Structures are given as structure tokens and as C-alpha cells.
Amino acid sequence: MHSWTSPALDPLPASGLPLRLFDTRAGRVAPILPLTPGSARLYVCGITPYDSTHLGHAATYHAADLMRRAMHDTGLEVEMAQNITDVDDPLLERADRDGVDWRDLAASQVELFTQDMESLRIIAPETYRSVSEAMDQIIAVVRTLHERGRAYPVAASDAAGPDWYLDLSQDGALGDVSGWTEAQMLEVFAERGGDPDREGKRGRFDPLLWSAEREGEPAWDAAELGRGRPGWHVECVCIAEESIGLPFDIQAGGSDLVFPHHDLSAAHSVALGRPFAAAYAHSGMVGHEGEKMSKSLGNLVFVHRLVHEGVDPMVIRLVLMAHHYRSDWEWTAQELEQARARIERYRAAARRGGRFPTTVEEMRAALRDDLDTVRALEALDAWAEVGTATGPDAPDEAASGPGDVPAALDALFGITLQG
């Protein structure tokens, strides 16, 4: 799948200092020490393309973009992969409801998503692959799991053959990422695509591996497992393996993916006999009008709609920066106004020129300290205040050399002050 055009990158000379990031599995902030010296591999879970980018998505991909920029700033080459869940219940249901082909719905929403990513100046992943594109590899992995004795059938009354589930009891990998109790898992499993009470399952949290063909649904031939389509979690294992390889450094996504998606993706990988991600990074949820932004509540704020209404995408990025990536927060019109005023101050400061090496070092230090954008904004606000004043943070008169704040804001945080 075509991704999108990345913004021009003009990195600062490498700092050589590692990014420290909160690892959900370890439960603490730890330095990212890449598995392959000199290069880092990042996987970020992609969208189900049936409703274009809302601000919750934007926050997730913004956080992953900052991880990437932060690792690049330390001197690492970064390789990134992202999937598109284009074969999934909600997408098929929406296509059915609207009387459109699921492929056309997916293509139109992927198009909107890539436009939004481009306007937000998110660096494009090297691999951007949909489930339908990766189907041959997914089928091969599903069959391998079957050969390894990890898959078992569950009778399906509305299909010609059985559905297949992954037997989690054999590897004891459940909860490896989340560290949750079964009671905590049960609280969210059903609302996040699971079926804890389905008759015939060996374990409540065993994930659907291969769903038998139903009338009117797309299906592919998986030999001894019959015609059907894959469950949700196996796709990221396959797409990660064929693009960045297993194991890799960081799996990233929204905090609603900790369980079941990231726990069960890792469990699939363990069942294949392969380690998965070394660290897991999760971004917070964005609320609106007092609730988490979600399709079911109908309180989504879309990036493309804001841009269409004339909101500068850099202002949207500044709103995202005003909240630590791991915190849950609420989108309001006031946030937008504050960010608008802020970018005007920054643009005025950029026009005044000057070199501020201390500010740039503060920005870099904040970024590599668990992507502390709030602290980076404090440094930027102080820079914008200083103007032409004298003192320790006053501009260095040198016309070149370190301390170009607008260039650092672009390289580290993806915000251009031009325009």
C-alpha cells in the first residue's frame, strides 16, 4: 500500500544519548537500547479504515512520530512498519450498512488517513501494509500454528466449517504485556472484539485465529483450515515479521491496545516460537464532551474536518504536544485557541532570529526523557518570551552554528514555523 510523502528531514548532529521511554511491560521508564546496534525497529498498530482519522488516532501516530524522531536524534537509523486492518468485523459491517464494497470503503478511508498524516507532517513508515495485501503470509502463519498444535476448532452453526482458535494454555503467555489479572481482562475483552463466553472454547481469552467463511463476507483459502478470514491479532505478527523482523524494539499504539491486542499479538508470536517486541509504548486516550472519543459514542473530532475548516495542522500538532503522550486528556475549542496563540508567538520569535543553544538542548533533553513535550513547550515558551532581551538565554549573535530553535522544532517535533 502506498503510504504518504514524509516531510523533509534535516536532523541535528546526533546527541548519542539514548531515548528513555515508559515500557508498559516493564512498568517503568527505561532506555531504549536497540537489539541491532545503530538501528531501531518500530512497529505501530494501524487503523481499521472505516472512519477517517480522529484526534485519538492523531495522538497515537503523533506519539509514534516523536519516538521515531527522538531515536533518530540519538543517532539511530529507524525503520518502521504499520498495518491497516482492512479485513475486520466493524469495517465489513459498515460497508454492508452503507451498501458499498468493503474494498472501496477501506480505500477511501485509507486515502483520507494518509492525507491527514501528510498534513500533520508524520514521517511515513517504510512498510505500510494491509491485511488483504499480507494474506498469503497470514495464511502461512495460521497454518504453522495449526501444525504446531496451537490451533483448535470450534463448531460454527452459521458456517460450513469450524472457526479456529489459538490455545493460549500451551505457552502460558497470557498477560505478558499487560500484567493484568483475569478479572481486569474480562472487563474489557468483549467490548474490544473478544468472545469470552463462546461455547467450545478451551480458554476464555483464546483469540479467534481463523474465522470460517460466512455468507456475504470475503474469504480466502487456508487449506486444511478451510475458507475464511484471519482473526485480528495474527496480522501484526505477520506484518512485523516480514517487514522489520522478529524480535524488534518497540511496539506502539493507543492504551486501549494493551489488552487484548498487544498481549495476544505477543502470545501468537510466542506460540510460533519467536520472541516479539522488546518494549511496548502506549499513548493515552483523547476525550471530547466528557467521554472517550469513540465511534460508538459519536463524539469524534476528525483531523480532515478541522483542516477543511481552516485549522493549521501545525496548530493541531501543538495541541497534541501540550499533553504528555501517556496522559488521557480532553479536546476542547479552548485548546485550539491556546495553540493558535502559541504558534503566533513562536512565528514572531522565529522572525526575530538569533541562536539559542540552551533552548535547543532543553528541547532535546525533554524529548528523550519519555517524550516530555510539556517540558519542551515550557522551553519554547521561554524562548518566545525572551525575544531580544539580554541574559543567559539571550540570542547568541552568531549567524550559524547550534541553537536554531525553529530548525530544532522541525527536526525534533515535526512543526514547521514557515507559512
- Residues contributing to the site for Zn ion (CB under 5 A): 45, 236
Closer by beta carbon to Zn ion, 131 or else 405 = 131
Cis peptide before 395 (omega within 30 of 0): no
**Which of helix, strand or coil describes residue 375?**
helix
Closest CB 257 distance from Zn ion, rounded Å:
7
Closer by beta carbon to Zn ion, 82 or else 373 = 82
Which of 180, 153, 172 minimizes the C-alpha distance to 271? 172
Closest CB 25 distance from Zn ion, rounded Å:
15
Note every long-range contact of 214-217, with CB atoms under 8 Å and residues 24 or more positions apart, other chains counting.
214/158, 214/159, 216/96, 217/92
Closest CB 288 distance from Zn ion, rounded Å:
24
**Which of helix, strand or coil describes residue 296?**
coil
Burial of 397 (0-12, 13-18, 19+ CB in 10 A): exposed
Closest CB 44 distance from Zn ion, rounded Å:
8
Closer by beta carbon to Zn ion, 48 or else 109 = 48
Which triple of cell numbers denotes residue 156? 460454527
Closest CB 61 distance from Zn ion, rounded Å:
13
Phi, psi of 81 (to 5 degrees): -130, 150
Closer by beta carbon to Zn ion, 45 or else 92 = 45
Closer by beta carbon to Zn ion, 45 or else 379 = 45
Closest CB 109 distance from Zn ion, rounded Å:
17
Strand order in the sheet with 220-221: 151-154, 163-166, 208-212, 227-230, 220-221
Closer by beta carbon to Zn ion, 40 or else 45 = 45
